Structure 1
Amino acid sequence: MKKLVIIALVLLSVSSFGQTVQNLIDKVDIGRLELTVSEFTGEQPTLVNGTEVTIINRQHANNDLAAEYIKERLQQFDNISVEEQNFNTTGKNIIATQIGKTNPQNIYLVCAHYDSVADYCADDNATGTAAVIEIARILSTQCLENTIIYAFWDEEEIGLKGSKYYATQAKNNNLNILGVLNMDMIGYDSDAPGESGHNVFDIDVRDLHGSLTIKNDLLDILNAYTFELNPVVVNPGTTASDHASFWNKGYPAVLVGESWETDDVTPYYHSSNDRLSTLNLPYFHEITKLVTAYMVTKGTLLSTDNTLSVNQTSLFANQGSASYQWYNCDTNTLLEGEINQDFHPIVTGNYAVEITMGTCAEMSDCALITTLAIEESASDYFKITPNPVSSILNIDSSLKSPIFIYLYNVSGQLVTEKTSNTERSVIDMSALASGIYYLKIKGNEKVTTFKVIKE
């Protein structure tokens, strides 16, 4: 008699839908923003090159650790290439590029400077740096029509040197930069909710090279989605940050930041009292969400659906007509042989799928499975004998088509696999250690998992 053994903590049944701009806005994580600022300003130690370090100072001649920190964080993301652009003996920009799948020549650039004038300098400009890293984390999971460049400028504090160098090189190489959004000091707001100046921020713009279009797009996005922000358009805007380097080379650009126009800026400007504890984190979060929405909108999402449907015991990739590869998120390992649209885990845990359509490859979010369906020794289609087994395990199939057999250890690692075209197949387990194994059999869209005890 067939008996289904359920190993479960809770019952999970969820369906989700394709990524939208709103989905990606919602992924902006205030906890990640706070952690990045804390690590980047030396409020807490972090790891760089595998060594615990404390990044307290980022002055231009003393910010190699800061540059390495940025590079290592970006290198963790998919679909991004990272380079260090040295422009003098001490200055280095960090440039990350996500190539557009449809229009790679069309470039939108989001940027911030990472150097400082004193210790800590959380608002100026660890906030902008953290926001660009967070936006790269989110957008790197998506296939976009246009190219996005995530840029981190050095030596802004001594004359916009990093951005001037990049903008000059871009002009000389005829880069088709359609928009530059610069973030500089986006974490301070002194007004409480309900006060007239609450969550006011500046959009600094000039009527140069189509820059007003960026301003208009930001205002449209503010109206299209829900943000707790109140914009002040400053025209003519300041030239005292990196966006001005692009104005000077004929590119459209704006600055987004806390409101100098209404005199609501950090009182700790350019001092070592500019600390994480002085920031307004919800305000910082809202501005990062707005810029994320702008970059997603201008990057333009491709139609790949990288979401999952989750039932009690299995996962299903919602995108059809694609190639699939499943991963174990807990161990960060590829699951050999798991290349179908559906996936039936043999170990509880977190799993994701990479979906490939043409040149577009997107990874889903990780989904938790806490319920497993395990047969004892027989199902409607397959039977295994003996169980427990000491040497030869027999597998009988009632299907008139090939079957695929996978044997896993208790940790979920693939021990052996084979394909069979016969009614009876065998696996020699004599050399395997005693313990619990899981046997997964697939055939004709039928999937069954058995728990096997090796004596």
Structure 2
Amino acid sequence: MKKSLLLFCFIAFLASCVKAQSIEDLMSQVSTVNLQTNVAQLSGEQSAIINGSMQTIPSRVHSANDLAADYIKERLEALPNLNVEFQDFNTTGKNVIATQLGQTNPDNIYIICAHYDSVTTYCADDNATGVAAVMEIARLLSNQCTDNTIVYALWDEEEIGLRGANYYAQQSADETNGNTRDNILGVINMDMIGYDGDAPGTPGDNQFDIDVRDIANSIAIKDDLLSILGTYTFDLHEIVVNPGTTASDHSRFWNQGYSAVLVGESWETNDQTPDYHTSNDRVEDIDFQYMTELTKLVLAYTATKAGLIGVDNTITQTATALISNQTTGTYQWFNCDTNTPISGETNQSFAPSTNGNYAVEVTNGDCTEISNCVNFSVLSSEEFLPNEIKVYPNPVDSVIKIDNFTESEIDITINTISGKVIKKTNSQKAYIEIEFDSTASGVYFVTIKSKTKASNYKIIKE
């Protein structure tokens, strides 16, 4: 290319193997909260730490959007396995380009992109939504090793002529002076993905457009997106628009003979934001559930085409240790609270001596992945006696009952078998009831702690 280009699972002291993250696992980790925060910060409705201080982005208009560019670049630089840089294309315009190099076929490139400039203040839907989605996809996929290269591109000066994307596409296709045309296999452009005419969070049609033209293999990208919609569960309804609009950045790749599509809210059915290109385009009008579904779709497409390499970056937690589920390779454990490696902790298992958040970096061959951070609490060596704490019934149907015969204050945490915290509370009542009727069937773990004792209880929800 010439372009400068954690898990809580207590099972009676036994480590239980968990499969490496699948595409569906990754989809389930798309965070609506992250999307909300990033859109609010990009649109200037919430302050953020940028260049070391708390600041508010006043505007993303192309002539004064350097602070927005810094915000994007800093957040991508904080992610693993990305090479992040500015690509200056004129005196004021600069793209933010983050490259995740493929391990098997580094010259095979898939681009996920959005423009970050705007025409006026706020402009939450246009296009803080697309940028936030690219950043969230990068957060999740940058922890993975892939066969092919992923480029996360945020374009500048889209609003005054698609200039940033045009420059990148022309440079990619340039074969003069001994240059080689970049092997871009697919481009998905996300432009305005946050508005659905139904009230935010309510059931509705959730229609979105896939704009496509019969250029290169663009139709195949559309077909791949439809296949993904049929493979996984989405609350979305597609509208295929062919010939699709040329009024956004994907068209500049069409001009160079590359395969590309636009994914966005449904202009085809006149269901776009009524506040288009005005300062009334605000966060309060974004349907974040709808936006989350579209982010999941593009993530699933990207992960599928990039090709996830089978390194298991998940962790199993026992009462006394954290264990990497990858059985071969080299390991380095990290303290997430200080963002530093832990000296001498290079084995598959690690027994923390203090409470904290920990992760493991696993290297197997040429592939290095880091786990999510896991919260680990050092359990007291003394457990509750049966006449002190009783958890019942087991199996449970609708309510978990806890008899706290000590009447001391206790912390109660309930985790799924995969480590997700689903309920957390504390109480010093003698009799405690926790609603469990709406919880899915399966195995759960109840951790109860006091100042001096701690115990774990495995329960089954029928």
Q: TM-score, normalised by structure 2?
A: 0.77
Deviates more, 1:26-35 or 1:48-57: 48-57
Q: In 2, distance between residues paired with 1:326 and 1:274?
A: 44
Q: Report the CA distance shift for 1:195/1:71 in structure 2 as closer, same or farther (over 3 A).
A: closer
2:436 match: none
1:292 match: 299
Deviates more, 1:111-120 or 1:329-338: 329-338
Q: In 2, distance between residues paired with 1:358 and 1:370?
A: 32
Q: In 1, distance between residues paired with 2:22 and 2:193?
A: 25
Structure 2 segments unaligned to the other structure (5+ residues): 1-7, 175-179, 383-462
Q: In 2, distance between residues paired with 1:31 and 1:196?
A: 20
- Show CA shifts across 1:316-371 (max 9, x none): 11111210001111222211000111111111222111000122110011222223
1:367 match: 374
Q: Is the 8 A contact 1:352 1:364 kept in 2?
A: yes
1:255 match: 262
1:177 match: 184
Alignment of 1:335 onto 2:342: yes
- Counterpart selection for 2:213 from 206, 215, 232: 206
Alignment of 1:349 onto 2:356: yes
Q: Is the 8 A contact 1:12 1:369 kept in 2?
A: no
1:24 match: 26
Q: What SS does the corresponding residue of 2:278 show, helix, strand or coil?
A: coil
Matched to 2:163, the amino acid is K
Q: What SS does the corresponding residue of 1:90 show, helix, strand or coil?
A: coil
Q: Aligned-pair distance for 1:198?
A: 1.6
Q: Is the 8 A contact 1:12 1:371 kept in 2?
A: no
Q: In 2, distance between residues paired with 1:89 and 1:290?
A: 36
Percent of aligned pairs sharing the same letter = 58
Q: What SS does the corresponding residue of 2:99 show, helix, strand or coil?
A: strand
Q: Is the 8 A contact 2:157 2:164 kept in 1?
A: yes
Q: What SS does the corresponding residue of 1:106 show, helix, strand or coil?
A: strand
Q: In 2, distance between residues paired with 1:252 and 1:222?
A: 20
- Show CA shifts across 1:117-166 (max 9, x none): 01000000000000001111110000000000000000000110000000
Map residues 441-452 of structure 1 onto 2, 5 A cutoff. Answer: none
Q: In 1, distance between residues paired with 2:25 and 2:161?
A: 38
Alignment of 1:302 onto 2:321: no
- Show CA shifts across 1:96-129 (max 9, x none): 0000000001000000000000100000000000
Q: In 2, distance between residues paired with 1:52 and 1:319?
A: 39
Q: In 2, distance between residues paired with 1:11 and 1:155?
A: 48
Q: What SS does the corresponding residue of 1:83 show, helix, strand or coil?
A: strand
Map residues 153-192 of structure 1 onto 2, 5 A cutoff. Answer: 153-172=155-174, 173-191=180-198
Q: Aligned-pair distance for 1:168?
A: 0.1
Deviates more, 1:12-21 or 1:133-142: 12-21
1:102 match: 104
Q: Aligned-pair distance for 1:56?
A: 2.5
Alignment of 1:231 onto 2:238: yes
Q: Aligned-pair distance for 1:196?
A: 9.5
Matched to 2:328, the amino acid is S
Alignment of 1:276 onto 2:283: yes
Q: Report the CA distance shift for 1:197/1:343 in structure 2 as closer, same or farther (over 3 A).
A: closer
Q: What SS does the corresponding residue of 1:250 show, helix, strand or coil?
A: coil
- Counterpart selection for 2:228 from 214, 221, 225: 221
2:430 match: none
- Counterpart selection for 1:40 from 39, 42, 47: 42
Q: Is the 8 A contact 2:62 2:118 kept in 1?
A: yes
Q: Is the 8 A contact 2:109 2:184 kept in 1?
A: yes
- Show CA shifts across 1:376-396 (max 9, x none): xxxxxxxxxxxxxxxxxxxxx
Runs of 4+ in 1 over 2 A off after TM superposition: 10-17, 191-197, 371-375
How large is the RMSD of aligned CA atoms in angstroms? 1.8
- Counterpart selection for 2:81 from 79, 82, 98: 79
- Counterpart selection for 1:314 from 315, 321, 336: 321
- Show CA shifts across 1:212-265 (max 9, x none): 000000000000000100000000000000000000000000000000000000
- Show CA shifts across 1:266-318 (max 9, x none): 00000000000011110011100110111110111001111111111111111
Q: In 2, distance between residues paired with 1:324 and 1:143?
A: 16
Q: Report the CA distance shift for 1:373/1:362 in structure 2 as closer, same or farther (over 3 A).
A: farther
Q: Is the 8 A contact 1:352 1:365 kept in 2?
A: yes
Q: Is the 8 A contact 1:148 1:299 kept in 2?
A: yes
Q: Is the 8 A contact 2:62 2:92 kept in 1?
A: yes
Q: Is the 8 A contact 1:348 1:372 kept in 2?
A: no
Q: Is the 8 A contact 2:112 2:189 kept in 1?
A: yes
Q: Aligned-pair distance for 1:17?
A: 2.4
1:116 match: 118
Q: Is the 8 A contact 2:9 2:317 kept in 1?
A: no
Q: Aligned-pair distance for 1:194?
A: 12
1:430 match: none
Matched to 1:313, the amino acid is T
Q: Report the CA distance shift for 1:196/1:236 in structure 2 as closer, same or farther (over 3 A).
A: farther
Q: In 2, distance between residues paired with 1:257 and 1:86?
A: 27
- Show CA shifts across 1:77-108 (max 9, x none): 00000110111111111100000000001000
Q: In 2, distance between residues paired with 1:223 and 1:243?
A: 24
Based on CA coordinates, which of the two structures has the bigger radius of gyration?
1
Q: Aligned-pair distance for 1:372?
A: 4.1
Q: In 2, distance between residues paired with 1:369 and 1:197?
A: 41
Q: In 2, distance between residues paired with 1:269 and 1:193?
A: 17
1:417 match: none
Q: In 2, distance between residues paired with 1:373 and 1:338?
A: 23
- Counterpart selection for 2:95 from 93, 103, 112: 93
Q: Is the 8 A contact 2:200 2:289 kept in 1?
A: no
